[in-house]
């Protein structure tokens, strides 16, 4: 049945930082968009430039608008943390639903552009599910996959993420923090403001670290963890001081082949 008129919302993975990460499917989606929705989280200017540059370069097929949705203020010291978080999620869903309803025609095409891929440490898809539950507006969601920072890290170092048949874990700095041993031989760590790699105490561990992957000032450091950890801490601090923000991702892997149990077969 094709007589149902409904808004379409693309959630487009734009890649980790290099404008050329955008896929041809992403370009085709961008060309169909009437309204680009941007949730203003006070993002770094370089990330705004990346997003605006992609829109400027590819959204050339028809007129489009960019609609900024201001982030809902959050009480950082609530009396009841859980109910405050629930209220905040509801308020966001209502605000975003209202923007979609008011700014996008009933047969219009909207889009959210997401750094990397929407499946990895990104809340856009969960958020849109909540927006739909709020029942302010009806829409279909179409996801366009993108290159994750994990893939960008592996490509820049020119390595596979794991040995033959081994597993790989993708986790956060918060979860690695306080562990002397990574949980599996190949662990990719994202969202690490804690420099959790400094707590890993394994003479056979190697680290492959990357900051601003895919961007003009990409920084890479690789080597035995106990030899390069300090250098990474220093370069991280210097880069952060210079720019005011940092995005970094790394792989910690055990180099000795005592991991037969992890191999297949």
Ligand X SMILES: C[S@@+](CC[C@H](N)C(=O)[O-])C[C@H]1O[C@@H](n2cnc3c(N)ncnc32)[C@H](O)[C@@H]1O
Contacts with ligand X by CB under 6 A lie at 16-17, 114-117, 120-122, 148-149, 190-191, 210-215, 247-249
Residue nearest ligand X, Cβ-based: 116
Q: Smaller CB distance to ligand X: residue 137 or 147? A: 147
Q: Smaller CB distance to ligand X: residue 117 or 206? A: 117
Shortest spacing between CB 167 and ligand X, in angstroms: 19
Shortest spacing between CB 154 and ligand X, in angstroms: 12
Shortest spacing between CB 210 and ligand X, in angstroms: 6
Query: b/e for 11-22, b at 16 or more Cβ within 10 A?
Result: bbbbbbbbbebb
Q: Smaller CB distance to ligand X: residue 110 or 210? A: 210
Q: Smaller CB distance to ligand X: residue 38 or 137? A: 38
Q: Confirm if 223 and 25 have CB atoms less than 8 A apart.
A: no
Q: Smaller CB distance to ligand X: residue 155 or 215? A: 215
Give me the residue label for tokens 């896929």.
Answer: 23
Structure token digits, residue 136: 């302010």
- Between CA 241 and CA 249 the distance in angstroms is 18
Shortest spacing between CB 179 and ligand X, in angstroms: 18
Grouping H, G, I as helix, E, B as strand and the rest as coil, residue 69 is strand
- Between CA 84 and CA 73 the distance in angstroms is 11
Angle CA(152)–CA(155)–CA(160) in degrees, nearest 5?
A: 115
Strand partners, 143: 11
Shortest spacing between CB 159 and ligand X, in angstroms: 16
């Amino acid at each position: 049945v094709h007589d149902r008129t409904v808004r379409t919302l693309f959630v487009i993975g734009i890649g980790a930082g290099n404008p050329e990460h955008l896929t041809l499917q992403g370009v085709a989606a961008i060309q169909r968009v009437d309204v680009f929705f941007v949730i203003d989280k006070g993002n770094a200017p370089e990330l705004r430039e990346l997003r605006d540059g992609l829109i400027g370069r590819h959204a050339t097929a028809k007129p489009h608008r960019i609609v900024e949705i201001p982030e809902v203020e959050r009480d950082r010291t609530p009396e009841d943390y859980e109910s405050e978080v629930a209220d905040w999620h509801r308020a966001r869903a209502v605000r975003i639903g209202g923007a979609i309803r008011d700014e996008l025609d009933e047969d219009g095409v909207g889009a959210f552009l997401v750094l990397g891929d929407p499946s990895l440490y990104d809340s856009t898809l969960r958020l849109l599910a909540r927006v739909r539950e709020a029942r302010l507006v009806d829409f279909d969601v179409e996801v366009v996959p993108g290159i994750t920072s994990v893939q960008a890290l592996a490509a820049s170092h020119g390595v596979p993420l794991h040995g033959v048949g081994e597993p790989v874990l993708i986790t956060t700095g918060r979860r690695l923090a306080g562990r002397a041993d990574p949980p599996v031989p190949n662990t990719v760590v994202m969202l690490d403001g804690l420099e959790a790699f400094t707590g890993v105490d394994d003479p056979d561990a190697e680290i492959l670290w990357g900051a601003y992957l895919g961007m003009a000032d990409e920084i890479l450091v690789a080597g035995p963890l106990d030899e390069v950890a300090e250098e990474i801490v220093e370069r991280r601090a210097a880069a952060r001081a210079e720019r005011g923000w940092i995005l970094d991702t790394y792989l910690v892997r055990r180099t000795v082949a005592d991991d037969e149990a992890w191999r297949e077969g």
